[in-house]
């Protein structure tokens, strides 16, 4: 039976993915500071911090995939980003190495390349251009994943998740949305990841997407959902005539709207 360890299982993404992965027949080990609401009889629950090496080493024993979701889901001050988001990536990779976990899947973010104009991405996987300290921590996590994969001969995947939700709720999300079911498909595809570190976009097969699905295809990821089916509904909510009235991303930063530079001079973060 394939066992998946999910760190940060009580968070928004973990809560959504847990029943989907359980429904596919996987055995789940759920780690968080509090018991995840989505936990069910038969799931293994580990209470502890994803930055605690001893807890992580124990949790990683006998698992086939370590899915690392733990960490703050938005920007925080420097020390919180380093001590929680980046440190948890290190602990996850080290636990996977020590326990010889076959594959590690890290929840990356489009904010790691957030200042890249959306219309310049095309088929590329752009180099880091973080738009926040959160994005910096995600970019640093990608670099650490590359180091572990190359130095220790590990199989690691980083999914640059753009906009995760049950449905797209903003004009931007029509391009950047990834559905829970598609993200679950990406988790499954990662089980067959090759040796080394792969970066893929965590995005659905959206008509308006600004990024290529090619890296995901190479991994075996085949998203099936398209945000466009919500476009008319979203246009109505916004008081627009229809989907055609919702503008494309164009040259907007991939990570979304950023603060006016004049506002950042006194207090950057």
> Residue 108's domain is classified under what CATH number?
3.40.50.720
Q: How confident is the model at residue 207 (pLDDT cuts 50, 70, 90)?
A: very high
Domain total of the chain: 1
Query: 58 in a domain, yes or no?
Result: yes
Which phi and psi angles does 88 have, rounded to 5°?
-70, -30
Rounded Cα distance, 145 and 105, in Å: 10
Query: 202 in a domain, yes or no?
Result: yes
Q: Which residues contact 224 (CB under 8 A, 6 or more apart)?
A: 181, 182, 185, 204, 205
Pairing relation of β-strands 163-164 and 155-161? unpaired
- The answer to whether the pTM exceeds 0.85 is yes
Query: 122 in a domain, yes or no?
Result: yes
pLDDT at 234 (0 to 100): 96
Which phi and psi angles does 177 have, rounded to 5°?
-65, 140
Rounded Cα distance, 170 and 176, in Å: 10
Taking residues 54-71, what's their average pLDDT? 98
Helix or strand or coil: residue 55? Answer: helix
Full domain range(s) for residue 90? 3-264
Query: 269 in a domain, yes or no?
Result: no
């Amino acid at each position: 039976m394939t066992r998946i360890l999910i760190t940060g299982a009580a968070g928004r993404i973990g809560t959504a993915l847990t029943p989907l992965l359980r429904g596919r027949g996987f055995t789940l080990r759920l780690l968080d500071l509090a018991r995840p609401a989505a936990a069910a009889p038969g799931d293994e629950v580990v209470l502890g911090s994803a930055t605690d090496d001893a807890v992580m080493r124990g949790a990683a024993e006998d698992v086939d995939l370590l899915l690392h979701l733990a960490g703050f889901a938005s920007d925080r001050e420097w020390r919180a980003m380093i001590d929680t988001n980046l440190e948890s990536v290190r602990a996850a990779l080290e636990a996977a190495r020590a326990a010889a976990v076959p594959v590690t899947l890290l929840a990356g973010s489009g904010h790691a390349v957030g200042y890249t104009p959306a219309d310049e991405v095309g088929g590329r996987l752009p180099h880091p251009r973080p738009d926040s300290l959160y994005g910096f921590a995600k970019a640093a996590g990608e670099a650490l994943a590359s180091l572990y994969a190359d130095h220790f001969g590990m199989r690691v995947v980083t999914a640059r998740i753009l906009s995760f939700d049950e449905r797209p709720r903003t004009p931007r999300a029509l391009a950047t949305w990834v559905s829970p079911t598609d993200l679950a498909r990406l988790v499954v595809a990662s089980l067959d990841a090759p040796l080394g570190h792969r970066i893929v976009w965590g995005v659905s097969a959206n008509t308006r997407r600004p990024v290529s699905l090619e890296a995901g295809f190479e991994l075996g990821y085949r998203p099936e959902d398209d945000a466009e089916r919500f476009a008319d509904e979203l246009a109505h909510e916004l008081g627009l005539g229809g989907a055609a009235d919702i503008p494309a991303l164009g040259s907007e930063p991939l990570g979304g709207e950023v603060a006016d530079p004049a506002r950042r001079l006194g207090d950057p973060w």
